[in-house]
A = this chain, B = another copy of it.
Amino acid sequence: MVKCALCVHLIYSDIVQRSREELKAIRETNPGLKPTLAIIQVCLCIGLNVMQICLPRQCTEEEVSDAANSEKQIRVSFLSKSVRNAIKPQKDVDGIYFFCNTPLDAPLIGKMAVLVGVEGPLKATLQFLLQNNGMMVQTCQWSSKHLQKQFLGVVCYFQQQRAMLLCFRRDIWIDHRSDIEISRAQTPKPISQLAQEVGLLPEELEAYGNTKAKVHLSLLNRLQHQPNGKYVLVAGITPTPLGEGKSTVTIGLVQALSAHLKLNSFACLRQPSQGPTFGVKGGAAGGGYAQVIPMEEFNLHLTGDIHAITAANNLVAAAIDARILHEATQSDKALYSRLVPSVNGVRCFSPIQMARLQRLGINKSDPSDLTPEEVRAFVRLDLDPEKVTWQRVIDTNDRFLRKITVGQANTEKGNARQTQFDIAVASEIMAILALTDGLADMRARLGRMVVGSSRNGQPITADDLGVTGALAVLMKDAIKPTLMQTLEGTPVFVHAGPFANIAHGNSSVLADKLALKLVGEEGFVVTEAGFGADIGMEKFFNIKCRTSGLKPDVVVLVATVRALKMHGGGPNVTAGVPLPKEYISENLQLVADGCSNLKKQIQIAHLFGVPVVVALNAFKTDTQAEIDLVCRIAEASGASAAVQCHHWSRGGRGSVELAQAVKKVASQKNYFQFLYNLQKIRTIAQKVYGADDIELSPEAQAKIDYYNQQGFGALPICMAKTHLSLSHMPEKKGVPTGFILPIRDIRASIGAGFIYPLVGTMSTMPGLPTRPCFYDIDLDPVTEEIKGLF
């Protein structure tokens, strides 16, 4: 709860409930006085600097003006002691603001509609808001309804029993609310309204409740002649436990572009895994005044895409083991008669079986024509249980599934084997969802997924298992991006969220393409890459852009003073323990040293020919000298601009400077290029990570030979490296040099379409901490409100 809003609420309750007789006496002295006026007066008494006023409709402007300017009839002493204690002014409340918290059912308070001391545009806007039942209508260029940029912080909500209107001005807004409280305090626009504002047709929308909707891909066809907007990637310096805030920068930037620069803009974000939601705190919806709402929907089931991926992935896994069992326990003939049964006396191959026959070089369509050898080749995938690479997945942090033995029941007749579960977002199907450009392409990629090798070394695909169509059916809704909105009512696509490690860690190509059409030529699409720029951005360029054919215009590189200090050699931090003083007081030397990492990441972007704007995500503890130093070094390192941002505390208004810089840089010509012409692990290691060379393990070398032999050699590279350092050593901060990058093994996502070298070890299944955050998550069974979710 906002401290000061709470104060007003307490004062109000105290006045209304405690003092009918006293209030009556006061009213007799001053007939125009109403409880709300009394609140204003008490607020003034306790030092709350009232700037604008919203009052009940039945007051005239004159009455209000009189009351506000009159002698203060109601003093703090009028309030009960407990309230007086509660409303002691806060030291850090140093801005000019106002709010008014009125129960809608209070007899004296009607619909708030009279605004005093408010300039014309704001007044009109607020009146509009009120007439529209308190719904927030801040929108962008697509519609005519947007708030004036000097008054950005209108937060207005009508809940079951209460109406609250908060307006604030200037840049100061001190708030102690949690992300979920801020999210819930905002009533989202109906998703159909947002869709209409951005130019979607009703038939292109599939609502999932009132705050989420899937968007049909037919839009791409309808807008095929519309030029694309500008394409902005938000990337970060090498991550530290202190966090950098790429998601909040992304959202703050679109809020600033939309609501303040009046440019159409869309944020394209990844759907977060549910695993961390219940494990270690940290949402993916942004935070503070730069987040996607409702954040609980964003962080929970959303529209079920990850569940669909889980179902599809595990159907493949079940098909693999069942097939191994069936082949181990049946003759060729029995397999053939079951795989190609006689239905009403007719035997025929299904289309997916015809495809397998073609791959086997058998050009026959009548099942009775096959020779015994051909039957054997057809019915036996002959999967080597030791060489099954497909894993089951689950969207839960379940560490006990990292290594398991399956098939131990008697019914499986001794076919037990060791395998593992990965977190669902690590599924190749997630990577495919993120890279596909449509239903037909997705279906084809799903069929190409290699799930293991036969005993004679041939790759076995999902298509060989006969499961391609079923996978496409399971994924038919997941392929449509989900439309949501930011806290300021600007549009967001949430779609796909592949692991940034063994996959490429970027949201979907389809969402970006839809958004680029919707914003139009002058508009902006801002998307985010996982991890640091050396990983997420490199994969964005080399894998995502290679697949989509889209060219980025600007990279926004996010840094914080704190994280730079850690790269400069600052001490380690531990969760739950207060931050070492280096991070909360000025230390220019650490900042300067840490900027080596920032500089290196800028250089990496320049390798691809894309200009960089550095966004310094400012914290209260940063000093001006520190901020200036970072900006100076960033510009000296080749950044086109370097600006500080305050979106977390101020929403879009806090990112206007960033938005202006991005707009300016995006209008300049750039020369995007891929870093390598495929299959160049060494190029990435040397040019991006700064390694002296790479070292291939025997397994890795064997895999390279095998993949080349299978014709997969032309696929792009998706490095699976720790995100905590530019090197393979997580503890090496800043810009490590003089190291050899070891390639432990090389794996392939043939359906998604990339090869992923494993650099060192990494876990694809997070664990739960001793006190998982589910301890704090609960639901009020009456109001249905969720508590404790971030």
Residue positions of A touching B, CB distance < 8 A: 206-210, 214, 274, 278, 296, 300-301, 304, 307-308, 310-311, 314-315, 317-319, 321-322, 325-326, 330, 334-335, 338-343, 350-353, 392, 394-409, 411-412, 415, 418, 420, 438-440, 442-443, 466-470, 472-474, 476-477, 576, 763, 767-772, 774-779, 781-782, 784, 786-789
* A465 and chain B: residue at smallest CB distance: B774
Q: Do B412 and A400 touch (CB < 8 A)?
A: yes
Q: Do B318 and A768 touch (CB < 8 A)?
A: yes
Q: Which residues of B contact A438 (CB under 8 A)?
A: 781
Given A576-B342, A768-B319: A412 in contact with B394 (beta carbons within 8 A): no
Q: Could you say which of B206, B396, B476, B781 contacts A443, with CB atoms under 8 Å apart?
A: B781
* A770 and chain B: residue at smallest CB distance: B338
Q: Which of A318, A319, A443, A576 has the most CB of B within 10 A?
A: A318
Q: Could you say which of B396, B418, B466, B774 contacts A466, with CB atoms under 8 Å apart?
A: B774
- Bound complex: CA A343 to CA B178 (Å): 14
Q: Could you give 14 example pairs across A and B, Cβ below 8 Å? A: A207-B208, A278-B315, A300-B474, A307-B310, A310-B310, A318-B396, A322-B398, A339-B771, A399-B411, A399-B412, A466-B775, A467-B775, A469-B787, A473-B789
Q: Do A469 and B779 touch (CB < 8 A)?
A: yes
Q: Could you say which of B334, B353, B396, B409 contacts A775, with CB atoms under 8 Å apart?
A: B353
Q: Do A405 and B407 touch (CB < 8 A)?
A: no
Given A473-B789, A775-B352: A770 in contact with B326 (beta carbons within 8 A): yes
- Bound complex: CA A776 to CA B348 (Å): 12
- Bound complex: CA A408 to CA B319 (Å): 24
Q: Could you say which of B343, B474, B781 contacts A440, with CB atoms under 8 Å apart?
A: B781
Q: Do A779 and B476 touch (CB < 8 A)?
A: yes
Q: Which residues of B contact A308 (CB under 8 A)?
A: 301
Q: In angstroms, how far is the closest chain B Cβ from the Cβ of A349? A: 10
* A326 and chain B: residue at smallest CB distance: B770
Q: Could you say which of B576, B778, B782 contacts A352, with CB atoms under 8 Å apart?
A: B778
Given A301-B308, A325-B399, A774-B315: A338 in contact with B769 (beta carbons within 8 A): yes
Q: Which of A343, A438, A474, A779 has the most CB of B within 10 A?
A: A779
Q: Which residues of B contact A278 (CB under 8 A)?
A: 315, 470
- Bound complex: CA A788 to CA B397 (Å): 35
Q: Which residues of B contact A315 (CB under 8 A)?
A: 278, 396, 774
Q: Which residues of B contact A782 (CB under 8 A)?
A: 439-440
* A424 and chain B: residue at smallest CB distance: B311
Q: Do B339 and A469 touch (CB < 8 A)?
A: no
Interface of A is mostly: mixed
Q: In angstroms, how far is the closest chain B Cβ from the Cβ of A39? A: 29
Given A404-B405, A775-B350, A788-B469: A318 in contact with B398 (beta carbons within 8 A): yes
Given A395-B311, A399-B321: A408 in contact with B411 (beta carbons within 8 A): no
Q: In angstroms, how far is the closest chain B Cβ from the Cβ of A786? A: 5
Given A326-B770, A341-B576, A411-B767: A778 in contact with B472 (beta carbons within 8 A): yes
Q: Which residues of B contact A418 (CB under 8 A)?
A: 408
Q: In angstroms, how far is the closest chain B Cβ from the Cβ of A277? A: 9
- Bound complex: CA A443 to CA B778 (Å): 9
- Bound complex: CA A398 to CA B775 (Å): 32
Q: Do A409 and B402 touch (CB < 8 A)?
A: yes
Q: Which residues of B contact A469 (CB under 8 A)?
A: 774-779, 787-788
Q: Could you say which of B304, B395, B439, B769 contacts A779, with CB atoms under 8 Å apart?
A: B439
Q: Could you say which of B214, B301, B330, B439 contacts A307, with CB atoms under 8 Å apart?
A: B301
Q: Do B473 and A778 touch (CB < 8 A)?
A: yes
Q: In angstroms, how far is the closest chain B Cβ from the Cβ of A229? A: 27
Q: Do B301 and A770 touch (CB < 8 A)?
A: no
- Bound complex: CA A397 to CA B323 (Å): 13
- Bound complex: CA A342 to CA B576 (Å): 7
Q: Which residues of B contact A206 (CB under 8 A)?
A: 209-210
Q: Which residues of B contact A340 (CB under 8 A)?
A: 771
Q: In angstroms, how far is the closest chain B Cβ from the Cβ of A295? A: 13
Q: In angstroms, how far is the closest chain B Cβ from the Cβ of A337? A: 9
Q: Which residues of B contact A274 (CB under 8 A)?
A: 311
Q: Which residues of B contact A776 (CB under 8 A)?
A: 350, 469
- Bound complex: CA A392 to CA B300 (Å): 20
* A218 and chain B: residue at smallest CB distance: B784
Q: Which residues of B contact A351 (CB under 8 A)?
A: 778
Q: Do B477 and A301 touch (CB < 8 A)?
A: yes
Given A209-B207, A409-B403: A319 in contact with B772 (beta carbons within 8 A): yes
* A210 and chain B: residue at smallest CB distance: B206
Q: Which residues of B contact A576 (CB under 8 A)?
A: 341-343
Q: Do A470 and B774 touch (CB < 8 A)?
A: yes
Q: A321-B398, A469-B778 are in contact. List 20 more A-B contacts (CB 8 A).
A: A278-B315, A301-B477, A319-B768, A319-B774, A322-B399, A326-B770, A338-B769, A338-B771, A343-B576, A350-B776, A399-B409, A399-B411, A400-B407, A402-B411, A403-B412, A438-B781, A439-B779, A466-B775, A473-B786, A476-B779
* A401 and chain B: residue at smallest CB distance: B406
Q: Do B777 and A470 touch (CB < 8 A)?
A: yes
* A439 and chain B: residue at smallest CB distance: B781
- Bound complex: CA A402 to CA B409 (Å): 6
Q: In angstroms, how far is the closest chain B Cβ from the Cβ of A347? A: 11
Q: Which residues of B contact A788 (CB under 8 A)?
A: 469
- Bound complex: CA A777 to CA B352 (Å): 10
Q: Do A473 and B777 touch (CB < 8 A)?
A: yes
Q: Which of A296, A335, A401, A438 has the most CB of B within 10 A?
A: A401
Q: Which residues of B contact A440 (CB under 8 A)?
A: 781-782
Q: Do A784 and B405 touch (CB < 8 A)?
A: no
Q: Which residues of B contact A310 (CB under 8 A)?
A: 307, 310
Q: In angstroms, how far is the closest chain B Cβ from the Cβ of A47? A: 25
Q: In angstroms, how far is the closest chain B Cβ from the Cβ of A359? A: 16
- Bound complex: CA A274 to CA B405 (Å): 24
Q: Do B394 and A768 touch (CB < 8 A)?
A: no
- Bound complex: CA A645 to CA B267 (Å): 56
- Bound complex: CA A198 to CA B775 (Å): 41
Q: Do A311 and B301 touch (CB < 8 A)?
A: yes
Given A404-B406, A775-B466: A330 in contact with B398 (beta carbons within 8 A): no
- Bound complex: CA A576 to CA B342 (Å): 7
